[in-house]
């Protein structure tokens, strides 16, 4: 069997394993094995690639693999579950950067040897560099915002969309000149470096206007870009396994992006260009009224008498690292005879599925986690809804106030529960900067303070 055929078969096997790995992610029972299946696919793809290397430069190879494996393993071991959004954001960026470097290296190799590059390959190199570069710096900004190293608020300035449009047009113009190949080798290299610079700039300028609460959409989109960059690299070197895997990741990011947008009732264009939550006067009606603050002793009495409880966690639970305390409280509630469910909104937290991972870490069985459509129809029968650090996803203005920026967003309708306890630091509006009339409803009780400290004191009340 010749080497090329063997490689082809290896790549097909790898692609099949990736597909099965993703398929097994459709249930928590098989998901972990699915991840192993996918990893086996990667091992095969890398293994057979060695047979295509005319020379193996062990020093360079081991340096790259060694550093990468050490950093990756350490990051995977040390990252806190609350910090998963930052980590995924950063990894999106690394994927984009790696693809960009592959495109660049391919071009440099041909340039150094004076080889003519096919029009199609030049276009593929261009796309690899462009998508990879935008993914890299865009992800760095997303990482900065998610980890709090950069201000989470949208950064807006006059003529922002115009500046971005000019950058895109410039990149397209340079790219087109580069691709059609009217210029000679050296000038082509200059053009490519120009595209590199423009793409890196564009990644930053297109991400800074997007606010922290919209990050679930942004990292889903960047996830998709990192796949598409790998795909473009696949077209550069005519390699099917890169194209297939890149397309799978690209599609995955797109599906998640669409789900997130739908859960916020907003279009992707609105998320990317509107600077949501920064514009003055878009906060809604500026609700005034009497909030009803209670102490944790009062809250204990309410919860102690409850037969059915719904917990609605949000980013505040992650920020306060309160998931373990919440898990403990829920166990005590169950021992007390209450039926307890966690209701997770698709955009709760800073990335898709973030709350589920945190609660899994706190040993909450996944059957106990439900979605808004499972709880909303029977919300009137719920004795107590406990909102822990969630805000916009429970804001009744989405149903009641046509002028609210949240109007039309599907929410968890905790205002219809018999009693609603909101754990919060203050009455300040949430990340989107929209006022929340829930806090002033007659059946709402406000329990102010740090979520973890509050829950811990509730747990103490329950223990005799």
Partner 1 sequence: MELNATTLSLLFFVFVLAMFLGVELIRKVPSQLHTPLMSGSNAISGITIVGALLAMGHDQSGIAVLVLSALAVAFATINVVGGYLVTDRMLGMFKSKDKDGGKP
Token pair listed for 92: 């999106």
Show the binding pattern over residues 256-275: x = contacts partner 1 (CB under 8 A), - = does not. Answer: x--x----------------
Q: Which is nearer to partner 1, 77 or 158 (CB)?
A: 77
Q: Which of residues 424-463 bind partner 1 (CB under 8 A)?
A: none
By CB under 8 A, the count of residues binding partner 1 is 116
Contact 194, 211 (CB under 8 A): no
3-state secondary structure of 405: coil
Going across the sheet that includes 444-448, the strands are: 369-370, 339-343, 308-313, 384-388, 419-424, 444-448
Q: Contact between 313 and partner 1 (CB under 8 A)?
A: no
Give the C-alpha separation, 89 to 225, whole Å.
12
Q: Which of residues 155-184 bind partner 1 (CB under 8 A)?
A: none
Q: Which is nearer to partner 1, 135 or 419 (CB)?
A: 135
Q: Contact between 86 and partner 1 (CB under 8 A)?
A: no
Catalytic residue among 214, 339, 383, 392: 392
From candidates 3, 6, 9, 23, binder to partner 1 by CB under 8 A: 23
Q: Which of residues 347-406 bind partner 1 (CB under 8 A)?
A: 351-354, 356-357, 360-361, 363, 365-369, 371
User: 419-424 and 384-388 as β-strands: parallel, antiparallel, unpaired?
Assistant: parallel
Rg (CA), the chain: 25
CA distances from 66 to 61, 71, 87 (A): 8, 9, 20
CA neighbor of 345 nearest in space, from 424, 416, 260:
260
Q: Contact between 98 and partner 1 (CB under 8 A)?
A: yes
From candidates 22, 172, 204, 332, binder to partner 1 by CB under 8 A: 22
Q: Which is nearer to partner 1, 78 or 280 (CB)?
A: 78
Q: Would you tell me how many other CB atoms lie within 10 Å of the CB of residue 21?
A: 22
Q: Which is nearer to partner 1, 77 or 463 (CB)?
A: 77
From candidates 49, 321, 336, 456, binder to partner 1 by CB under 8 A: 49
Q: Which of residues 107-136 bind partner 1 (CB under 8 A)?
A: 108-109, 112-113, 118, 120-121
From candidates 1, 2, 5, 29, binder to partner 1 by CB under 8 A: 29
- State yes or no: is 392 an active-site residue: yes
Q: Which of residues 221-240 bind partner 1 (CB under 8 A)?
A: 223, 226-227, 229-231, 233-240
Give the C-alpha separation, 229 to 249, whole Å.
10
Spell out the residues 6+ positions from residue 150 whose beta carbon is closer than 8 angstroms to its own. Answer: 141, 144
From candidates 3, 6, 9, 32, binder to partner 1 by CB under 8 A: 32
Write b or e for each residue in 102-134: b if 16 or more Cβ atoms lie within 10 A of its Cβ, otherwise e: bbbebbeebeeeeeebeeebbbbbbbbbbbbbb
Stretch of 175-183, 241-249, 394-402, 441-449 lying at the interface with partner 1 (CB under 8 A): 241-249
Q: Which is nearer to partner 1, 242 or 417 (CB)?
A: 242
Q: Which of residues 52-81 bind partner 1 (CB under 8 A)?
A: 52-57, 60-61, 63-65, 67-69, 71-73, 75-77, 79, 81
Q: Contact between 102 and partner 1 (CB under 8 A)?
A: yes
Beta strands in 289-368 (DSSP E): 308-313, 339-343
Q: Contact between 188 and partner 1 (CB under 8 A)?
A: no
Task: List, in sequence order, every residue forming a beta bridge with 267; answer none if it has no partner.
Answer: none
From candidates 152, 211, 253, 429, binder to partner 1 by CB under 8 A: 253
Q: Contact between 16 and partner 1 (CB under 8 A)?
A: no
Give the C-alpha separation, 202 to 334, whole Å.
51
Q: Which is nearer to partner 1, 249 or 397 (CB)?
A: 249
3-state secondary structure of 378: helix
Q: Report, as residue numbers or ranges, the catalytic residues.
A: 392
């Amino acid at each position: 069997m010749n080497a090329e055929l063997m490689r082809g078969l290896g790549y097909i096997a790898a692609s099949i394993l990736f597909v099965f790995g993703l398929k097994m992610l459709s249930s928590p029972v098989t998901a972990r094995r699915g991840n192993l299946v996918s990893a086996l696919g990667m091992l095969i793809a890398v293994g057979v690639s060695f047979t295509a290397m005319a020379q193996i430069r062990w020093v360079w190879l081991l340096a790259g693999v060694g550093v990468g494996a050490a950093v990756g393993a350490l990051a995977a071991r040390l990252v806190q579950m609350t910090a998963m959004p930052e980590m995924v954001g950063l990894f999106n960026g690394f994927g984009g950067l790696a693809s960009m470097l592959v495109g660049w290296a391919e071009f440099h190799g041909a340039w150094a040897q004076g080889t003519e590059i096919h029009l199609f390959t030049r276009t593929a190199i261009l796309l690899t560099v462009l998508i990879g570069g935008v993914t890299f710096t865009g992800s760095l900004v997303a990482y900065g915002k998610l980890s709090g190293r950069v201000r989470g608020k949208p950064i807006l300035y006059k003529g922002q969309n115009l500046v971005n449009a000019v950058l895109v047009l410039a990149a397209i113009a340079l790219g087109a000149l580069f691709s059609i190949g009217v210029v000679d080798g050296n000038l082509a290299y200059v053009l490519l470096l120009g595209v590199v610079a423009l793409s890196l700039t564009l990644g930053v300028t297109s991400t800074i206007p997007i606010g922290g609460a919209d990050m679930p959409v942004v990292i889903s989109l960047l996830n998709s870009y990192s796949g598409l960059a790998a795909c473009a690299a696949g077209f550069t070197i005519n390699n099917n396994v890169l194209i297939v895997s890149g397309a799978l990741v690209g599609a995955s990011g797109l599906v998640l992006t669409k789900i997130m947008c739908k859960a916020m009732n907003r279009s992707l264009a609105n998320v990317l260009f509107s600077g949501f939550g920064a514009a003055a006067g878009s906060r809604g009606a500026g609700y005034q009224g009497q909030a009803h603050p209670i102490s944790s002793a009062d809250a204990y009495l309410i919860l102690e008498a409850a037969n059915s409880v719904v917990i609605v966690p949000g980013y505040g639970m992650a920020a306060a690292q309160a998931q373990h305390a919440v898990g403990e409280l829920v166990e005590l509630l169950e021992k007390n005879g209450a039926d307890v469910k966690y209701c997770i909104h698709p955009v709760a937290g800073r990335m898709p599925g973030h709350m589920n991972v945190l609660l899994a870490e706190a040993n909450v069985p996944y059957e106990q986690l439900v979605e808004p459509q499972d709880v909303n129809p029977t919300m009137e029968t719920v004795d107590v809804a406990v909102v822990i650090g969630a805000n916009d996803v429970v804001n009744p203005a989405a149903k009641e106030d046509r002028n609210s920026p949240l109007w039309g967003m599907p929410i968890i309708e905790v205002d219809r529960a018999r009693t609603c306890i909101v754990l919060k630091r203050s009455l300040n509006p949430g990340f989107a900067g929209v006022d929340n009339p829930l806090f002033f409803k007659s059946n709402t009780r406000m329990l102010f303070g740090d979520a973890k400290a509050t829950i811990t004191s509730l747990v103490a009340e329950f223990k005799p």
